[in-house]
Structure formats: C-alpha cells, structure tokens
C-alpha cells in the first residue's frame, strides 16, 4: 500500500504538521518523519490533534527520539525508530500493550503454580529476613532532621564599571528634547551728566512813568554773576508819581547755566540789564542739579555675556525644564538632562548706548534629556556586580553599595559606578543534604563549617536518634 511520507524539520509545530496533512492525499496512510526535539512530537495533545485531522487515514510517526516514540505510543499512534522498521512493521518497544496481549500474558501467569514456602527452617529464614528488612526500612524512613544555616559573608572584590541608559544601552530610556529661553542681566558702567537748570521767578519794578516791554530772554543776574533769563515776554506797567504807585510784574526765569549753582536764595537776583527797572527774586530759585545718567557700554555687554555667566543661566533654565519633564512623568521615572547647547543670543547693538542702569540680553538653547526608570541604575548595577562574585558564592544584595556618577550625552545617560559589598556561599540544598546524611551532629557542624555555612539550629527526630537520617530526602535545610 502506498503511503504519504511527510518530512518535518526540527522546528515543526502542530501548525506545520496540519498544513502538510491538509495537502496530503485523502486516501493514503500518513507517516510523519519527526527529527529529535521537534515541538510537534513533544506533546501528546499535538499527536491527538493530528490523528483527528487525518480522519480515516492511518497515522504513524518515525523518529529516532525515544521520548517522541513513547509519547506517540501513549496516544496509540504507531511509532517506529526508522523507515526500515516501518517497512518491517517493527513497532517501538515503548508501544503500550493492547487488550489481546494483556489477556495472553494474564493467562500465562494464571497457569503458574503457587510458590511454596518449603521447610520450616526456610519459613523462619524468610520471616527473619522480612523483619530485618522492616527494621532497615524503619532506620531509613523514620528519622528526620531539620537544619538551619546562615552563610558566612566575605568581602566582594571592589569593582568599577559603566552602565548606559539609551538606544542600544544596558537600560531603556525615553529621549526628551526641548528649546529653552532665558536671559542674562548686565549693569551699565558708562554715564553722562545732565545739567538741570534752576527755575523760579523775579519781580520787576518800573522806575519810569512809561510802560516798559520786557522781552522773553531778558537776562538778570546776581551780584556774583549767576545769570537767569526770562522764559516769557511781558509788559511792565508804568509807575504813577502822584500816589506813589510803583508798576511791578512777576516773570518766570530759568538759569542760563545748568547745575546746582542756579539755586539762589531770596533777594539775590538784583542786577538788571537796564536802568529803567529794578529786579529782585521774592523766592529762592530751585531745581538746579547735575544728574548722572547711566549709559550701557560695549564692555558692559561683553561682561554680561561671558561664557561662565551664559552657561550658568542656561544650566538654571535646563533644570527648570527638567522639573517640567518630571512633573509630566508623574513620578514614573527619573529625568537626567545634559548641557544646554546655545542657539541664539541678543546682539551688541541691541543694548549699547541705552540709558538704563541694567539691561537684559536674551539667549536661547536646545537641551536634551532622558527619562529612566526610578530603580535604575541600581538594578542594572546589581545584575552586573552579581556576575563578579567568586565561584560558588553569590552577592549579598543587602550589603551592596553603589556610588554612581551620571553624565548625559547624545546617546543617553552613562553612570560610572564604584561597587562594593559582601558575598556568601551559594546554598545548594541537594549538596548539603547529601553531605549530612548518616553523620553525627558534631560531624554535621564540621561539614557545614567547611562549606562556609554557620549552623544556627539542628534538630533530629526522634530526639534520641544519634545520627542524621540515612535518607537525605528526610533532611530539611532552611
């Protein structure tokens, strides 16, 4: 009878087998040739599914893997070690016994004569052997023990290594980018002097019987030649002899020269420019002063935009951006920011010559940051440092200490880590049990001490039993 032989590769699954089975002829038996370790033949459920999909077709497997053949036999799928065995119909020894074979074997067993105990001596010997076996069994199975040990710690070798968070690094990181703006403030050291003129008023008294015109800019002065000029034109009324009425008028004046010298007391402006009238000042003149006005110089701009000053301002702005990023993350990670990169700065011509005591120069920069999980770099450092423990020892993570210095670059955050801690012998429970089986308590203490383990408690049950159990499975290690 012709067969359909389906060769599967070592990665074949039930999906691969079902696809090949669907493409096979519907009227021919199917033989799956399965390499050792193929997933398809490692689960009885897969073989059951394949047999169901085959319908009326007979399914068998050929595999050099004894486990695969055993699994196939467990679900009644014929299994052969080779194609030659298939041709000879030689089933694998792992095939389960069918009903007929079981009946035949049972019939053979029924025809055997019952065993005879023979002579009384033989019966006694058998009974003694049974009692001895029972006693031995009790010696092995009844005793139990529980031992509690604490590893003795020894210093770990100090280590220095790097851990990087970022693309292709040891730790994942979320890149962050932003443009930041800030300013630097400078102080004007240049100045100019502004001489402010004193102001006041003078009173003219007419010495004639005619009206006299006093033009704007008429100059009068003090005895020490501090001059004032009228700031408006006016007419001085005439004086009347009969009745002794003197024509007078008050006129606003301003000092000819600026400065505090124009501040003169009452009745000091007494020298007129014409004999037709007298002049005096009923009140002191005021407001004359020398004002010093600050002016921004080029040197002031240079000092304000010094590299150290700009770098400090950008660092402060970068830290503010870091705070914003941290708030956006809501505490789910830690943000690291790098050095801001200056992109623009206000120019010299924008501030030089301004009459202000202080001035601002705007600056802008880009800053890059990375968001890293809050348990980093400690978690990655522990994993790295753990591999540096001596053979047979493990890092005691409770004692591990890490001094990490972070630097931020375009490719992520790099921590330079100095690590220290202690290590302890790795607890191999099977090894400990095997080394303690059958020993006295004193010997057990010595053996464990030699393994770097300190015994904190050792109990044997029953408590009068002199040795540890012979069966190591009866020893509990804590």
pLDDT in tens, 204-237: 999 999 999 999 999 999 999 999 999 999 999 9
- Residue 165 predicted with pLDDT over 80: yes
Quick one: average pLDDT of 457-472?
84
Distance CA 409, CA 169 (A): 13
Structural contact between residues 220 and 269, judged by C-beta atoms closer than 8 angstroms: yes
Going by C-alpha positions, the residue among 214, 218, 225, 298 that lies closest to residue 248 is: 214
- Residue 145 predicted with pLDDT over 70: yes
With a CB cutoff of 8 Å and minimum separation 6, the contacts of 72 are 41, 47, 61, 63, 78, 79, 92
Write out the two tokens for 454: 């300190």
Structural contact between residues 433 and 439, judged by C-beta atoms closer than 8 angstroms: no
Q: How many CB atoms lie within 10 A of CB 436?
A: 23
Write out the two tokens for 180: 């930041």
With a CB cutoff of 8 Å and minimum separation 6, the contacts of 242 are none
Q: What is the pLDDT of residue 107?
A: 52
Q: What is the pLDDT of residue 447?
A: 86
pLDDT in tens, 357-405: 999 999 999 999 999 998 999 999 999 999 999 888 889 888 999 999 9
**Mean pLDDT estimate for the chain:** 87
pLDDT in tens, 331-362: 778 999 999 999 999 999 999 999 999 999 99
With a CB cutoff of 8 Å and minimum separation 6, the contacts of 104 are none
Q: What is the pLDDT of residue 101?
A: 47
pLDDT in tens, 421-456: 999 887 778 888 888 888 898 888 888 887 778 888
Write out the two tokens for 42: 């490692």
Q: What is the pLDDT of residue 127?
A: 67
- Residue 22 predicted with pLDDT over 50: yes
Quote the percentage of the chain above a pLDDT of 90.
55
| SS3 readout for the chain | CCCEEEECCCCCCHHHHHHHHHHCCCCCCEEEECCCCCHHHHCHHHHHHHHHHHCCCCEEEECCCHHHHHHHHHCCCCEECCHHHHHCCCCCCCCCCCHHHHHHHHHHHHCCCCCCCCCHHHHHHHHHHHHHHHHHHHHHHCCEEEEEEEECCEECCCEEEEEEECCCCCECCEEEEEEEEEEEEEECCEEEEEEECCEEEEEEEECCCCCEEECCCCEEEECCCCEEEECCCEEECCCECCCCECCEEEEEEEECCCCHHHCCCCCCEEECCCCCEEEECCCCCECCEEEEEEECCHHHHHHHCCHHHHHHHHHHHHHHHHHHHHHHHCCCEEEEECCCEEEEECCHHHCCCCCCCEEEEEEEEEEEEEEEECCCCHHHHHHHHHCCCCCCEEEEEEEEEEEEEEEEECCEEEEEEEEEEEEEECCCHHHHHHHHCCCCHHHHHHHHHHCCEEEEEEEEECCCCCCCCCCHHHEEEC
Of 99-103, 182-186, 230-234, 287-291, give the lowest mean pLDDT range.
Answer: 99-103
Distance CA 379, CA 372 (A): 12
Residue with tokens 């080779």: 82
């Amino acid at each position: 009878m012709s067969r359909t032989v389906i060769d599967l590769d070592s990665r074949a699954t039930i999906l691969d087998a079902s696809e090949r089975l669907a493409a096979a002829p519907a009227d021919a038996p199917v033989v799956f040739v399965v390499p050792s370790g193929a997933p398809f033949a490692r689960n009885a459920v897969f073989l059951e599914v394949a047999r169901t999909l085959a319908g009326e077709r007979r399914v068998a497997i050929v595999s050099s893997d004894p486990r695969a053949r055993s699994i196939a036999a467990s679900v009644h799928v014929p299994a052969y070690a080779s194609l030659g065995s298939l041709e000879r119909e030689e089933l694998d020894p792992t095939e389960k016994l069918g009903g007929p074979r079981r009946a035949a074997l049972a019939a053979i067993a029924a025809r055997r004569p019952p065993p005879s105990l023979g002579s009384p001596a033989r019966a006694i010997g058998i009974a003694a052997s049974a009692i001895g076996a029972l006693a031995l069994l009790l010696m092995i199975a009844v005793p139990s023990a529980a031992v509690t040990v604490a590893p003795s710690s020894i210093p770990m070798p100090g280590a220095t290594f790097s851990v990087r968070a970022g693309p292709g690094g040891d730790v994942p990181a979320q890149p962050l980018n932003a443009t930041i703006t800030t300013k630097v403030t400078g102080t004007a050291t240049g100045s100019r002097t502004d001489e402010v003129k004193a102001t006041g008023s003078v009173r003219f008294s007419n010495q004639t019987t005619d009206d006299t015109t006093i033009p704007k800019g008429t100059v009068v002065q003090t005895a020490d030649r501090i001059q004032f000029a009228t700031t408006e034109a006016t007419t001085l009324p005439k004086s009347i002899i009969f009745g002794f009425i003197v024509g007078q008028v008050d006129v606003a004046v301003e000092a000819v020269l600026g400065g505090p010298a124009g501040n003169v007391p009452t009745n000091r402006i007494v020298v007129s420019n014409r004999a037709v009238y007298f002049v005096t000042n009923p009140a002191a003149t005021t407001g004359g002063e020398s004002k010093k006005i600050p002016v921004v110089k080029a040197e002031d701009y240079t000092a304000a935009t010094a590299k150290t000053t700009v770098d400090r301002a950008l660092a402060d702005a970068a830290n503010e951006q870091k705070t914003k990023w941290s708030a956006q993350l809501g505490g789910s990670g830690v943000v690291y920011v790098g050095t801001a990169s200056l992109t623009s700065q206000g120019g010299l011509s924008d501030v030089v010559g301004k009459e202000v005591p202080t001035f601002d120069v705007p600056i802008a920069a880009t800053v890059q940051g990375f968001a890293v999980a809050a348990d980093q770099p400690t978690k990655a450092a522990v994993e790295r440092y753990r591999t540096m423990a001596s053979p047979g020892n493990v890092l005691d993570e409770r004692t591990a200490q890490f001094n990490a210095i972070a630097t931020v670059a375009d490719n992520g955050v790099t921590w330079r880590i100095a690590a220290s801690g202690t290590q302890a012998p790795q607890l191999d429970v099977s090894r400990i049990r095997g080394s303690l089986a059958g020993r006295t308590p004193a010997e057990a203490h010595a053996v464990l001490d030699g393994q770097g383990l300190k015994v904190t408690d050792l109990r044997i049950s029953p408590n009068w039993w002199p040795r540890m159990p012979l069966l190591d499975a009866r020893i509990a290690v804590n």
